Chain A
Amino acid sequence: MADSIKDIQDQIIQEFSILDGDMEMTNFYIMELGQKLTPMKEEDKTDDNIVKGCQSKVWLTAWLDDNKVFFGADSNTAITKGLVSLLTRIFSGQTPDDIINAELYFPQEIGMDRFIGTQRSNGFGAMIKQMKLYALALKSKIEA
């Protein structure tokens, strides 16, 4: 069984605490996470799949597997790719309801605002919103 959204957030908080707030190391770490993200299919990188509200380009797709939601993502910038990888790690494999109802506290705990700035914070919020919208849409698909 997949770890819960809460468990994964706690793991992320733990990982970031090792970086001790060092901005440069934190950015390198985020980029490293992005490099590990499962490559998205090129045909999925369409304008329809671009998350609106992000300064960088972020593509996001979602699908159901055994009534669980899975996400594919990519970005044209390494740091944003790392950020979206955190979200796919948290949300992929969860139920639509768990995603819709999830409260994400890890950005605040790791001090994300401080190292990504307002512009990227807004983009990060847009990614979360888009993932929840996907979960909502897929939920209706299950219930249909």
Chain B
Amino acid sequence: MAEVSQESKKVLDVQEIRNEFPVLNQDVNGKPLAYFDNAATTQKPLQVIQALEDYYKGYNANIHRGIHTLAEKATKAFEETREVLHQFLNSKEKEEIIFTKGTTDSINLVASSFGRRFINEGDEIIVSGLEHHSNIVPWQIVAEERKAIIKVIPVLDNGELDYESFEKLISNKTKMVAVNHASNSLGTVNDLPRIIKAAHQVGAKVLVDGAQATAHIELDVQALDCDFYAISAHKFYGPTGAGALYGKRELLEEMPPYQSGGEMIKDVSFSGTTFNDIPYKFEAGTPNIADIVALKEAVHFVNRIGKQTIAAHELKLLKYAAESMSSIKDLKLIGTASDKVSVQSFVIEGVHHFDIGQMLDARGVAVRTGHHCTQPLMERFGIEGTVRASFAVYNTVEEIDRMIEGLERIVKFMK
């Protein structure tokens, strides 16, 4: 996790924040809910829920084509989110923000469209060993279609990427480097400046899977100089099924449409079709209007608290959890990189992760278990899966204590 300056930290009233999340105020299996599955999806604050309700109750209409008042209102709200994301990611222009269903959809868009335009036989695509399946499989499909080759950046024992190996992998044949900003399984924050610089030196482009970074790390796509950046609203307090792709204008303009129909056309005749300008060229069909409108409120929520304040709180929780877990017999932390978002994976020798997950659930503690859609990474560590606790701005030290107490009981029973 990035260093947080003392000056930038605001005092965080976690209880006040928790009051904005109605779902947190409930008992699960007779115990107060402690929700630690935030890397899978975060809970939603009232202002996001309210935005969805306001849209459907007040101005549900299709966008961009309608001349009537509701259509105008819906279009305005939809495009306001583009403006907000443009500022949130600091893209050069708002047209560089394309709405998608989320990170996976964004990666598929780039893999398919960039792949068709720029990847040819014998070219190389580099992914990292830390990737989620959704940043592996689309590239495998493209590689097969275009007769390209996939190369993988190895992962070190602490969960960091082996940058020296990466720098040996990269060559003039490399056309794309697809890496996550932060690992969903281990929390590792990757050294994007180093990766991007090396990629650009050989003329390769870089796509960043930002799913796990958006809620935790200050983003500036211009400063990063990445070529594409993919995000999902539901990973940073927004609705599911809505997200965005940032892409540099010059690339997006050269890329062919990914899907066809609706908004992406300029003129259609049976003799031929001309395509719309970006971003609309990549926004075929009726989008997920309500959720994209509500996405804006997720950005406002994060901005209101401040990423640095969020990160400072989460870093405290992560350190506390890692230290507390270290005292549990036979528990092994998986992923101990020096720079991490608030994700802690672990295994307990001799106890299956499913059993740990179910036993914690019995105490109202929600964690993730399994391979977290990163099977190659699990294979790298010689394990089937982990238990993953991932923290958000609304989590507390007391909740972590309840998890630790549950883990201690499991170990006591099973050993």
Contacts and interface: CB of A to CB of B under 8 A. Distances in A.
B362 A79 contact: no
B320 interface: no
* Interface hub of A22, A24, A78, A116 (most chain B Cβ within 10 A): A24
A31 interface: yes
B352 A27 contact: no
A27 B359 contact: yes
Given A24-B363, A56-B352, A31 B413 contact: yes
* Interface hub of B29, B351, B354, B363 (most chain A Cβ within 10 A): B354
A102 interface: no
Contacts of A101: none
Nearest to A77: B352
Contacts of A77: 352, 354-355
Contacts of B60: none
Contacts of A63: none
A50 B30 CA distance: 35
B30 A79 contact: no
Contacts of B396: none
Contacts of A56: 352, 354
B31 to A, nearest CB: 8
Nearest to A26: B362
A15 B29 CA distance: 20
B354 A24 contact: no
Interface string A21-58: 01110111001000000000000000000000001100
B363 A78 contact: no
Given A23-B30, A28-B413, A31-B413, A78 B362 contact: no
B199 to A, nearest CB: 39
A140 interface: no
A50 to B, nearest CB: 14
Given A23-B29, A23-B30, A78-B414, A115 B362 contact: yes
Contacts of A80: 354
Given A24-B362, A116-B358, 7 more contacts: A23-B29, A23-B361, A24-B409, A56-B354, A76-B352, A77-B355, A117-B361
16 contacts: A23-B29, A23-B30, A23-B362, A24-B409, A26-B362, A27-B359, A31-B414, A55-B354, A56-B352, A76-B352, A77-B352, A77-B354, A78-B352, A78-B414, A80-B354, A116-B358
Interface of A: 22-24, 26-28, 31, 55-56, 76-80, 115-117, 120
